[in-house]
Structure 1
Amino acid sequence: PPLLAAVAGLAVALLGAFAASRRAGRVRPAEALADAVVDGRVMTVGRWVWSLLYLLAAGGYMISSMNAPAYQLRAPGMRGPDSKATWSLEMGTMVIIGLAMFAPLLVPPLVRALALPLPMLNGAAGLLAGRNALASARRTISTATPVFLVVALTGSVVGAGLAFADARDTEARSMAAAPYVASPSTGPALAPETLRALHAKPGLLAATTASAMVTGLGVGPLSSDENAANAPIPYRALVVNGDPASAWRLHVTSGSLPQFTGAAVAVSSELARAYGWRVGDRLNTRLPDGTPAALRLVATVRPSFGLPEVLLPGSALRRPVPASRAYLAERPAAPLPGVLVSAAGDRHDPDAATAAHFQRLTILAILAPALLYALIAVVNTMVMSTRDRVRDISALTAVGATRRQVSRAVAAETTLTVLTAALLALAVTALTQMAVVRTINTSILTGSARVPYTLPWTALALSALVCLALAVLSALTSLRPVLRSTFPPPSRTRA
């Protein structure tokens, strides 16, 4: 990936330089001597073509990824709710890039609308700021684009992360059939005397579970070679002692859970679709202790955050696996030593916490470099755009504008540009968040469980304020040498 990124960056830079030089080569000598006061057409034919091609390619990719064929589901990253989180990040990035390509169409009307109250708020400086932003459309667009990228990326990525974190909690509460869960306070497994105490009271213990690994799951013979019938990688399985329906409200897509006993297995519907498994098939596998076994597929269930893709009954194992969780029908009357009993919906799941931790690290790894380079671009474009205002500042001084009035006009124009970009980013975040929430509620959660539609207002506000502070500070800082050359200090006479 670093090599591909370096090659892609170099290719983009060369293409940009080629496009700029080609455009400059079309300018005739007489036109080069003239100085345009108002930018002409910004949305060129080439930009229209590339933007529309990008929209078609991005739309086709997103549709195909949401309706992935069976062979693509063999990649673990394409299955389960976590694949929807990856899809949401890709979707948000593609929408942001697509809207940035159409910035010449979207920015000027929004600037014109936002510039209407400026004369009333800031007098002549506000009027000049609005007119300059509209007249210098290319400068306004180039300044607004990095701000838009910062705010839109922050809003989309943080919003999707919060929505999926909320989906994990909502699913855990809605799937819990047993009201209480017992887990060891120390160590990976419950003590045997604890399990005996739970079994001693009738109706208290609903089921126990333990994590395990199975390999070579498939309809073909067991071998070390990869083939189309066998899954070539090990799978994390959950060994269930008891009725799974007494612990979770599982959404069974085919088969039935009452047959989940003996040499049986239940898998997620996406895993079964990936390899063409059907209820009744015999799946050969190696159990956690390494012994081969032929298990009958009795049910397929809808994928969920909290459960692995493979469920095994405890009776299918020749050697029992120590239980790490016990699902209880009621809270024990007396506390059990070394056991933490909590409500099923409020239980702190270490696996879920680990998954959430890695999800935050992924978001940080994706977001931090992009935001850093975008913030550098904000400062860079503001410095270059301020240096381009030398002629405008000279014209203002010729009509009697003071140093303070010029600074206020530049600050007002910068604020107008940042506000325009922030509003466009808010619209993108609202659109992507709507798609994310709809995907969660229709593809992941079942029944009456729903994730509410909310926007990450704190992240949006903080990113917009940071961009505004950097933009205004860099604009005014780069304006100082221009003002010094335009407003020379008064000469001092010797006494």
Structure 2
Amino acid sequence: MFRLVLATLRVRKGSAIAGFLALFCAALIVGACGVLLETGIRGAIPAERYSGTPVVVAADQQIRWTETKVKDKGDGEVKTKSKEKAKALSERAWLPTSVGDKLAAVPGAQVIEDLIFPADVLADGGFLPGVDGNPTWGHGWSSAALTPYVLASGAEPRGDGDVVIDAELADRAGLEVGDETVVQSTSTPKTYRVTGIARPEATVDQQSALFFTAGEARRLAGHDGTVSAYGVFGAGRDQVEAAVAGTEAVVSSGDERGAVEFVDAASARVKLTSMGGALAGTSLIVAMLVVVGTFALAVQQRYRELAMLRAIGATPRQVRKMISREALLLGVLAAIPGALLGIPLASVIRAKFVSLGTIPDSLQLARSPFPIIAAMAATVGAAFIAARVTARRTARIRPAEALAEAAIERRTLGLGRVLAGLIFTVLAACITLLLTVLHTEPAAMPVTYLSVLMWMVALSLLGPYLTRGAIGLLGVPLRAFPVGGFLAALNSKANSRRVASVITPLALLIGMTSTILFVPVTLSDAAADEMKAGMKADYVVASLGSGVPAPAAEALRGTPGVTSVTEVLNTTIWAGQDKRSAQGLSSAGVATVVDPEVTTGSLEKLAPGSIAMSDLAVQGRKIGDTVPVTMGDGVETKFQLVAVYGRALGFGDVLLAHEDVVGHVDAPLARTVLIKGDVSPDQLRDRVKDFPGLMVTDRSGFQEAQAERQQTNAEVNLVFMGLIIAFTAIAVVNTLAMAIVDRIREFALMRLVGTTRRQVFDVLHWELGVIVLIAAALGTGAALLTLTGFSTGMVGSSTPSISLGTYAVVLLGALGLGLVATILPARMVLRRNPAEDINGRQ
């Protein structure tokens, strides 16, 4: 049997290469997704500033709660099941200094406190980013020992106007000992004298550091009575844990220190896990569609060969075993290199995410054999399942009917396939309906891609019937064109199964690409519309550095003609157990600056201690209710609900008073300041001229900034889903090329009866036009149904945003792929001797 398998693969090189490519791409993408998924679960976060610290004590960087489920088992018996859940905080949690007192009591322990706060250096008229674009953080000089940083020149800071700068940052800023520089931290920009240049004795390439005196660091950090972390020397971990037992402190050592240092990496892990898992699942479904389609076409092309085997006595089991072994051999050969190359592909994806700011550079790629083994297993399994599915009907052909079955394409589908197609149609409709009630992006995104895939599975199962009906409609106008159109109509009708096999990957390409491209467009357009409708500010002041200082906002309030100034600070909170995007707004006059479309209550009542929620986030709460909230840094508090509004996409899920947010974020300066009043931009610029890095624009500037954030999110989705688009595009070329190469005898016969090469190409062009038209109709229909459900749930409108220009590019791209995959193989085939081809020479 194995010799027969090898002989078949050698003779059927075209279908073998096509199957290999489909499986290779499947292993490549699944392997890359597996690496990213593992990175999200257990990716390393190497310590840098804490690399010289044996033990680090910090606050718990997780929000935790217990989920209890009660199940009535009948007969009065009730079963209660509790499970603790945790999510990464969005901001740094701070630790009470009382913990430091407990640590200082440990015999032999040397305890060093660390304060972390943003601090940007002004250079050449702008704020200098940290190394490789990473953040620049300020600290107290005593915490330099945690790395350690040592002075390369100069001396430690002794007064509140002194600063020590790390050597890499000083070199880029052109600063030396004795120079003065402006630093923008958490308050008014201040001029400091550089007293020293420090170099780390460990590798520090994910951040830049400035060191101040202990008093100045405490003032800039602004967290009285708390610290970012403690570094402990001279005591073991067990001693430290015993000392802080009963507090909320978390003790870390070894590799755990990195997660304390880079708190954003923990939330990035969660994001990467969800994205990697969603893409891996989507990839597997797409891979099954593509691989099954490829094998189905390959087996269909071998009907004559398989029919001969049945006619000479081969049993159905033997035929299935032969096809399965061929698939397993191809699967193994393709899975090994594909899965291994998934590692460098994952590295490329990670680098792109880092450049987009989706994940920090501190989160290192996890490398282990598990994703590779899983990708190989999934690929070989997909090959085996595809082979068994496609060989099932062929192996059941009775020997007496074998040659007739090979000569004439069967016009009906099996009952099982039809039932499966109807089941997937119902399933796709249910998932699309589910989309209409999903109102959050994390919940809607995976379901959106699942919806379009389920529609495509249904279309692939019922493809021959749908194709035959479409060809019947298109055949009438096609017959009006002699030779090319006429022959294309007849050929497509006679070979509807083959045409359907080619249409499926092309429809998948069009449907998936349209969905991926227009989902973020629908969101961004709706957000832009809501922002435009709700923005009443006349001008916006934005910062090119760490934010707009509070004194600058006060200066703007004193400008003649200005009636309202609102500072805007973005964060993430938890309302109960629901994660919500939030904005902190200066409460005085806020209703005159923004209009989030309040439906209940009044935004004018927004003040410290109160909260406004969108109608999607309010979840049955009523005006006057107390809303338990966990702030981004883990502090639990309560707010009174004063307003419910409708424009969640434009203004976020929750609005809070700026005063209630500013103490719970890592960067407390407002990113933007909204201004209402009869005033000129020059007057505003004059007011903030003493604050470097601020720019004044009209309200469109704020809308552009919001649009840029939406565009970044769209790029993140496109990076992930672009892999599937590329995979599907390869499948399109693969399938079309297979279909053309299999028609050698047909083209030879056409040449021998007098058809010219030009006329053959004319037939192919008409056939390709029919294929692209049907694929466009099916793919667009699946995408439109999905997008309508998504838009209804997320935007509240059944009309998604679709760019006709972008859609035209998608169709032209599909047509271009079709032309390449059709014309090039056809040119190679038509160069052959038709007399030899008609006799069956391959």
Give the TM-score, by structure 2 length: 0.48
Alignment match, 2:462: 102
Equivalent residue in structure 2 for 1:301, among 637, 645, 650: 645
2:497 pairs with 1:138: yes
Distance 1:20 1:453 in 2: 37
Aligned to 1:157: 516
Q: Is the 8 A contact 2:557 2:564 kept in 1?
A: no
Q: Give the C-alpha shift of residue 45 in structure 1.
A: 1.5
Report Cα offsets for 1:184-207 as digits up to 9, x if no partner.
343233344533333224662424
Task: Give the corresponding residue for 1:467.
Answer: 814
Aligned equivalent of 2:390: 20
Give a deviation string over 1:223-279, Cα, whole Å, max 9, x none.
xxxxxxx43868644243323322221233444334322422223343332xx6544
Instruction: Please state how far the C-alpha of 1:365 moved relative to its aligned partner.
Output: 1.8
Range with greater deviation from structure 2 (262-271 or 1-10): 1-10
* Cα distance in 2 for residues equivalent to 1:380 and 1:62: 30
Max radius of gyration: which structure? Answer: 2
CA distance in 2, matches of 1:432, 1:60: 11
Deviation at 1:150, TM superposition (A): 1.6
Distance change >3 Å, CA 483–CA 310, structure 1 → 2 = same
Rounded Cα–Cα distance in structure 1 between residues aligned with 2:589 and 2:617? 22
Give the 5 Å matches for 1:30-429. Answer: 30-34=400-404, 36-67=406-437, 79=440, 88-121=448-481, 123-178=482-537, 180-201=538-559, 204-211=562-569, 213=571, 230-231=576-577, 236-273=582-619, 277-285=621-629, 293-302=637-646, 304-314=648-658, 316=660, 322-333=669-680, 334-336=683-685, 337=689, 339-345=694-700, 347-366=702-721, 368-429=722-783
Q: What is the deviation of 1:136? A: 0.7
Moved more, 7-16 or 282-291: 282-291
In 2 relative to 1, CA 253–32 (structure 1 residues): closer, same or farther, beyond 3 Å?
Answer: same
Aligned-partner Cα distance in 1 for 2:487–2:634: 78
CA contact (8 A) 1:265 1:295 kept: yes
* 1:452 CA displacement: 7.3
Partner of 2:195: none
Task: Name whichever of 21-30 and 417-426 sits farther off.
Answer: 417-426
Counterpart in the other structure of 1:227? none
Superposed displacement of residue 427, structure 1:
4.1
- Give the secondary structure class of the aligned counterpart of 2:819: helix
Deviation at 1:409, TM superposition (A): 2.8
Q: Secondary structure at the match of 2:796?
A: helix
Task: Give me the identity figure in percent.
Answer: 23
C-alpha displacement of 1:394: 4.2
Deviation at 1:130, TM superposition (A): 1.6
Separation in 1 of the partners of 2:511 and 2:635? 52
Structure 2 vs 1, CA of residues 441 and 322 (structure 1 numbering), >3 Å: closer, same or farther? closer
Distance in 1 between residues matched to 2:434 and 2:799, nearest whole Å: 27
Displacement of 1:381 after TM fit? 1.8
Q: Flag the 1:203–1:281 CA change in 2: closer, same or farther, 3 A.
A: farther
Name the SS of the counterpart of 2:725 in structure 1: helix
How far does residue 53 in structure 1 lie from its aligned partner after superposition?
A: 1.5
CA contact (8 A) 1:270 1:303 kept: no
**How far 1:375 moved relative to its partner?**
2.0
Tell me the equivalent position of 2:265: none
Could you tell me which runs of 5 or more consecutive residues in structure 1 were left unpaired when the two chains were aligned.
69-77, 219-229, 444-450, 490-495
Query: Hey, what's the Cα distance between the residues in 2 that align with 1:124 and 1:290?
Result: 74
Superposition CA RMSD, Å: 3.6
Return the TM-score normalized by structure 1.
0.78
- Aligned twin of 1:75: none
* 8 Å contact from structure 2 (residues 628, 636) kept in 1: yes
Structure number having the greater strand percentage: 2
Q: CA deviation at 1:425?
A: 3.2
The alpha carbon displacement at 1:26 in A equals: 1.3
When residues 190 and 288 of structure 1 are mapped into structure 2, their CA distance, relative to the original with a 3 A threshold, is: same
Cα distance per residue 1:52-73 (max 9 Å; x no partner)? 22122233333345436xxxxx
For 2:403 and 2:533, the matched residues in 1 are separated by: 71
Q: Can you list the C-alpha shifts for 1:306-340, whole angstroms capped at 9, x where unaligned?
A: 33333222455796954443322235232423543
Higher RCO (C-alpha under 8 Å, 6+ residues apart): 1
Q: Distance in 2 between matches of 1:198 and 1:303?
A: 28
1:286–1:293: 8 Å Cα contact kept in structure 2? yes
Name structure 2 gaps, 5 residues minimum. Answer: 1-32, 35-279, 285-374, 838-842
Query: Aligned AA for 2:577?
Result: A
CA contact 1:252–1:302 (8 Å) conserved in 2: yes
Tell me the residue number matched to 1:74: none
Q: Residues 174, 89 of structure 1: CA spacing in aligned structure 2 closer, same or farther, 3 A cutoff?
A: farther
Q: Secondary structure at the match of 1:211?
A: strand
Q: CA deviation at 1:484?
A: 1.2
SS of the residue corresponding to residue 501 of structure 2 reads: helix
Deviation per residue, 1:114-149 (Å, 9 max, x gap): 33344544x323322221111011111111221222
Once the two structures are TM-superposed, the CA of residue 357 in structure 1 deviates from its matched residue by: 1.1
Aligned residue number for residue 446 of structure 1: none
Structure 1 CA distance, aligned partners of 2:579 and 2:787? 34
8 Å contact from structure 2 (residues 611, 656) kept in 1: yes
Following the alignment from structure 1 to structure 2, what is the Cα–Cα distance between the partners of residues 145 and 285? 49
- AA at the equivalent of 2:610: A
Match of 2:384, SS? helix
Task: Name the aligned partner's letter for residue 98 of structure 1.
Answer: A
* Cα distance in 1, alignment partners of residues 572 and 701 from structure 2: 30
Decide whether aligned partners of structure 1 residues 149 and 194 sit closer, same or farther in structure 2, where only a CA change above 3 A counts: same
SS at match of 1:382: helix
In the alignment, residue 257 of structure 1 is paired with which amino acid?
L
Once residues 433 and 233 of structure 1 are traced to their aligned partners in structure 2, the CA distance between those partners, rounded to angstroms, is 25
Give the equivalent residue in structure 2 for 1:72. Answer: none
Determine helix, strand or coil for the equivalent of 1:347: helix
